[in-house]
Amino acid sequence: MTLHLLGIDVGTYSSKAVLTDLAGCVVHSALVEHGISMPRPGHVEQDADAIWWADVCRLSQAVLGASGVPARDIAAVAVSAIGPCLLPLDAAMRPLRPAILYGVDVRAAAEIVELEMELGADAIAAFSLMALSSQAVGPKIRWLQKHEPGVWTATAKLTSATSYLVYRLTGHLCMDRHSASHFMPLYNPASGQWDERFAAAVAPLHTLPALGWADEQAGVISAAAAQATGLLPGTPVAFGTIDALSEAISVGVVEPGDLMLMHGSTTFFVLVQDKPTPDARVWTVAGASPGLCNLAAGMSTTGSLTRWFKDQLARDLAPADGYAQLFSAAAGVQAGAGGLLVLPYFSGERTPINDPDASGIIAGLTLSHTREHLFRALLEGVGFGVRHNLEAFAQIGARVERIVAVGGGAQSDTWLQIISDIADVPQLVPQVTIGACYGDAFLAGRAAGLLEADDIQAWVQPGRSIQPDPTNRALYDRMYHQYLRLYENTKDLMHDFKADG
């Protein structure tokens, strides 16, 4: 009998599963797509059962059926998902409303201000090692209490995406500490536990899941989950974690100084550290296992911005190769996009400005500009945002020794080259970048006691390196400073627009 590991990741726009052996060789993979709901500007939601759980069931059954691997040969399972999200559950552990998504959902801006005034912004930051932002779950809990009191009255438990999926698989409600770090100001990084200090202002601790580490065992497949997924009852299930951390693990970003740069629907940064360097601009969170922490950051709209562009401004392109045509055309446009400059804040912005009321700007438009100029300007705007975050890391004193690029955007050398040129950093791209589900498979093996932490290095095969081209350095330096000035000089107007809307 050959043992296998199953990893499943539920992302913003799609979910993916991978089945591996214990050496990390991929036996089979599968993908399903889904959407998001935006019931009003700034509100971004998904249905926990119709999307998250349904995807896990479909993918598990598809992988088992197509691979021919019997369920008895699955040694362990791990899931990851978008996060941090907020999902209220009733006493029967049923979702009371669609889940409120991570930092792209900016509905709780007023609640951030309220909590800072009540509790003290400095006190929160000193306790949680980061400031409140649209990524924090605490303000969204406060929003739920104020705006949906009926839902709040019926709420028995509060959870996030990965945690809910683990509950559906095992019957145990639990959460890894990396995810819990974002449930601020309820989580205490010093103790690694939920803390009463600010609970009265946010939520009672009994509503929160039990805590553990991402690579620990959370439970085993229940009889009900076995029927829904095709897995065998009693199969070990890991705690799992947020997709960005699983993706970092999937490419061997596990040592202090390693930085994962995930080019996905959003751009996410995960820097592995052995001691925290907290700063209000970014997020200091627990790592996957004891003794490690992460300095994390995230931009709100990057890959989703290219999707918006293709869906709204390039409808004439064939769906099968629309992206390829757009990237190919952008590669033929000179650096600087003919004088266009984009602020990619189309759904507010997370780090380092942490401004949920920011909005997108395309500056410098003339009648001579083409669709190709616009698309290149979007890609460059994301590059300037990446540089802004990396410079924040440097100012904090966080040590970055190597950058590993992952995600759908990492498939485009055009975009990677633009980002490396703007930020003046090399990016390593592994030979195979399967995604967070691959990291989940590894976490499954760890949780089952079948793998050691350093075995991941044997799973990851080296690939190509994107080196910065100095040719356009002076141009991009000048445009970067214009990028910073453009936000500073327009942010009050942006906020007025949001207030009027």
| Sequential pLDDT tens for the chain (501 residues) | 799 999 999 999 999 999 999 999 999 999 999 999 999 999 999 999 999 999 999 999 999 999 999 999 999 999 999 999 999 999 999 999 999 999 989 999 999 999 999 999 999 999 999 999 999 999 999 999 999 999 999 999 999 999 999 999 999 999 999 999 999 999 999 999 999 999 999 999 999 999 999 999 999 999 999 999 999 999 999 999 999 999 999 999 999 999 999 998 889 999 999 999 999 999 999 999 999 999 999 999 999 999 999 999 999 998 888 999 999 999 999 999 999 999 999 999 999 999 989 999 999 999 999 999 999 999 999 999 999 999 999 999 999 999 999 988 888 999 999 999 999 999 999 987 889 999 999 999 999 999 999 999 999 988 999 999 999 999 999 999 999 999 999 999 999 988 776
Q: Name the residue with tokens 């683990």.
A: 166
Q: What is the pLDDT of residue 501?
A: 64
Query: With contact defined as beta carbons under 8 Å apart, do 276 and 252 qualify?
Result: no
Query: With contact defined as beta carbons under 8 Å apart, do 418 and 385 qualify?
Result: no
Q: Pick from 162, 165, 173: which is nearest to 242 by CA?
A: 162
Q: Pick from 248, 158, 160: which is nearest to 436 by CA?
A: 248
Helix (H/G/I), strand (E/B), else coil: 168: helix
Q: Pick from 243, 223, 247, 245: which is nearest to 235 by CA?
A: 223
Helix (H/G/I), strand (E/B), else coil: 447: helix
Tell me the C-alpha distance between 126 and 350, whole Å. 20
User: Does 299-398+411-429+469-500 carry CATH code 3.40.50.300?
Assistant: no
Tell me the C-alpha distance between 94 and 28, whole Å. 32
Query: Could you check whether 4-251+430-459 and 299-398+411-429+469-500 share the same CATH topology?
Result: yes
Q: Where are the domains of the chain?
A: 4-251+430-459, 299-398+411-429+469-500
CATH topology of domain 4-251+430-459: Nucleotidyltransferase; domain 5 (3.30.420)
Q: What is the pLDDT of residue 292?
A: 94
Q: What is the pLDDT of residue 194?
A: 98
Q: What is the pLDDT of residue 432?
A: 79
Quick check: pTM over 0.85? Answer: yes
Tell me the C-alpha distance between 174 and 163, whole Å. 6
Half-sphere exposure at residue 245, Cβ-oriented, CA atoms within 13 angstroms = 33
